[in-house]
Amino acid sequence: MYETSDAFLYLLSRKHSDLNCFSHVGEVLSVGDGVVRAKGITGVFIGEQVYFKSKTSGLLGMVFNIEEVLISVVILGKDTSVSEGTLILRSGDYVKTKVGQYLAGNILDSFCQLIFNCEKRYSFQYTLVAEYAPIETRAPGILDRHRINQALPTGIKLIDILIPIGRGQRELIIGDRQTGKTTIAITAIVNQKRFHSGFITSNTSKKTGGNFVVEEEKTKLQQMLEKLRIEKLKQVAGSDVQISWRDRVYCVYVAIGQKRSSVKRIYNVLERGKALDYTTVVSATSSEAASLQYIAAYSGCSMGEWFRNNGLHGLIVYDDLSKHAAAYRQISLLLRRPPGREAYPGDVFYIHSRLLERAAQMNYNKGDGSLTALPIVETQEGDVSAYIPTNVISITDGQICLDKELFNKGLRPSVNIGLSVSRVGSAAQNISVKEIAGPLKLYLAQYRNFEGVGRFGSDLDPTVVAIINRGERLTELLKQKKPMSTYQQVISVYAGLNGFIDNLELPFVKSYEYLLFNKKFTVLLFDKLIFSSRDKLGIGKLFMLHKEHEFSFYTQVFGIQSYVPYLKRWLQYTNTYFSKYIQDGFKFMSTLRREKILLKFYY
- Single-letter amino acid, residue 557: V
Confidence tier at 530 by pLDDT (50, 70, 90)? low
Peptide bond into 413 cis (omega under 30): yes
Chain segment 338-361, per-residue pLDDT in tens: 999 999 999 999 999 999 999 999
Sign, CA torsion 25/132/330/332: positive
Q: Band of the pLDDT at 205, cuts 50, 70, 90?
A: very low
Show Cβ contacts of residue 391 under 8 Å, excluding neighbours closer than 6 positions.
348, 349, 352
Is residue 229 within 8 Å of residue 256, measured between CB atoms?
A: no
Q: Are strands 313-319 and 370-378 parallel, antiparallel or unpaired?
A: parallel
Across 228-237, 498-507, 519-528, 571-580, the highest mean pLDDT is recorded for 498-507
Q: Give the per-residue pLDDT at 562.
A: 60
- pLDDT average, residue stretch 244-263: 88
pLDDT in tens, 163-194: 999 999 999 999 999 999 999 999 999 999 88
Q: Kindly report, as residue ranges, where domains of CATH 2.40.30.20 are found in the chain.
A: 4-94
Out of 248, 423, 470, 594, pick the active-site residue. 423
pLDDT at 11 over 50: no
Would you call the peptide bond into 109 cis, given omega within 30 degrees of 0 as the criterion?
no
Report, as an integer, the average pLDDT of 392-401.
Answer: 95
Model confidence at 555: pLDDT above 80: no
Amino acid at position 278, single letter = Y
Side by side, the strands of the sheet bearing 313-319 are 107-108, 279-284, 249-256, 313-319, 370-378, 172-175, 398-401, 421-422
Per CATH, the number for 101-213+248-429 is 3.40.50.300
Beta bridge partners of 571: none
What is the mean predicted confidence (pLDDT) over 246-263?
91
Most confident of 388-397, 443-452, 537-546: 388-397
Query: Is pLDDT of 589 > 50?
Result: no
- Confidence at 237, pLDDT banded by 50, 70, 90: very low
pLDDT at 42 over 50: yes
For residue 222, pLDDT beyond 90: no
Residues of the chain with CATH 1.20.150.20: 432-602
| Per-residue model confidence (pLDDT) at position 486 | 84
pLDDT, residue 53, reads 84
Taking the C-alpha atoms of residue 146 and residue 166, their distance in angstroms, rounded to an integer, is: 12
pLDDT at 94 over 80: yes
* CATH number belonging to the domain at 4-94, selected among 2.40.30.20, 3.40.50.2000, 3.40.50.11810, 2.60.40.10: 2.40.30.20
> Active site includes 265?
no
Rounded to two decimals, the pTM is 0.83
Return the pLDDT at 506. Answer: 86
What's the CA gap between 481 and 159, in Å, rounded? Answer: 13
**Rounded Cα distance, 488 and 496, in Å:** 12
What is the reported pLDDT for 526? Answer: 61
Q: What pLDDT sits at residue 254?
A: 97
Give long-range contacts, CB 8 A cutoff, 24+ apart: 228-231.
229/553
Fold for domain 432-602? Lysin (1.20.150)
pLDDT interval class at 375 (50, 70, 90): very high
Which DSSP state fits 122? T
